[in-house]
């Protein structure tokens, strides 16, 4: 999944990106509200991790503006404020959860998983299509009763395709979803992951079709 982290503490941001990246998530990092708005205006994220005290303003203003824009992206607030009134105001503005600083990274990861499980939509439940079972949160794929080992980006690619069967995904769209802005990759990288995923899906009821000049589409037999 792709997350936006809004945090001006560089050391903490690097730690969060490293931990989340280890689980296969793609993280874009913004250190200011200005950068965060630029990111969110051009990308659709599965989750936002939002600090409150930022160099150019209050993260709650970003949250308020985000919700007023009718965006339902789950938001977990990272805050050093522990007073009940502060936590209530954060939730009232539309945050899905909050973590009080300093926090254990294991707790943050658990809250991320919990928010993603609570989020409505099929992308947060075990998907069963034909002889394929896929759990995007747990990161597991079973084909015809056999559990398969997929690399992180292979899992994330399958997550994108399986949640929109029949939809055409252009190569550049997949690059944007699978990699962060800091990653130096070309569209050829997508071809590599598509090829690997096809091998894993061999013998399943799912197949990935190439539409020349357009992109890729997941189809169910």
Domain of 170, CATH number, reads: 1.10.10.10
Instruction: Give the residue from 89, 118, 147 where a domain finishes.
Output: 118
**Helix (H), strand (E) at residue 26:** strand 26-30
For the question of whether the overall pTM of this predicted structure is more than 0.75, the answer is: no
Instruction: Give the residue from 85, 118, 151 where a domain finishes.
Output: 118
Task: Based on the fold, state whether residues 7 and 114 are members of the same structural domain.
Answer: yes
Span 177-221, pLDDT tens digits: 888 777 778 888 999 999 999 999 998 999 999 999 999 999 987
The per-residue pLDDT for 123 is 45
Instruction: Answer with the residue of higher pLDDT: 48 or 126.
Output: 48
Instruction: Give the residue from 118, 136, 165 where a domain finishes.
Output: 118
Task: Based on the fold, state whether residues 114 and 129 are members of the same structural domain.
Answer: no
Strand partners, 29: 5
Give the number of domains in the chain.
2
d(CA 5, CA 75): 10
d(CA 183, CA 166): 28
The per-residue pLDDT for 122 is 43
Q: Which domain holds residue 41?
A: 2-118
- Report which of 6, 137, 1 is spatially closest to residue 66, judged by C-alpha positions: 6
d(CA 93, CA 206): 41
Task: Based on the fold, state whether residues 85 and 145 are members of the same structural domain.
Answer: no
* CATH code assigned at 7: 3.40.50.2300
């Amino acid at each position: 999944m792709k997350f936006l982290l809004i945090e001006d503490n560089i050391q903490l941001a690097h730690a969060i990106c490293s931990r989340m990246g280890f689980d296969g998530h793609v993280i874009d990092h913004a250190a200011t509200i200005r950068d965060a708005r630029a990111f969110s205006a051009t990308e659709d994220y599965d989750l936002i991790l939002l600090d409150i005290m930022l160099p150019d303003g209050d993260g709650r203003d970003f949250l308020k503006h985000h919700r007023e824009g009718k965006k339902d992206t789950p938001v977990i607030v990272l805050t050093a404020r522990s007073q009940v009134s502060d936590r209530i105001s954060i939730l009232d503005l539309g945050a899905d959860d909050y973590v009080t600083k300093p926090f254990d990274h294991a707790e943050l990861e658990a809250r991320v998983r919990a928010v993603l499980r609570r989020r409505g939509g099929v992308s947060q439940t075990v998907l069963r299509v034909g002889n394929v079972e896929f759990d995007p949160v747990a990161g597991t794929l079973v084909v015809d009763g056999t559990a398969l080992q997929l690399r992180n980006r292979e899992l994330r690619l399958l997550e994108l395709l399986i949640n929109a069967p029949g939809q055409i995904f252009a190569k550049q769209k997949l690059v944007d979803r699978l990699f962060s802005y800091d990653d130096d990759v070309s569209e050829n990288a997508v071809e590599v992951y598509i090829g690997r995923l096809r091998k894993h899906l061999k013998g399943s009821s799912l197949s990935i079709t190439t539409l020349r000049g357009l992109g890729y589409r997941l189809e169910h037999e």
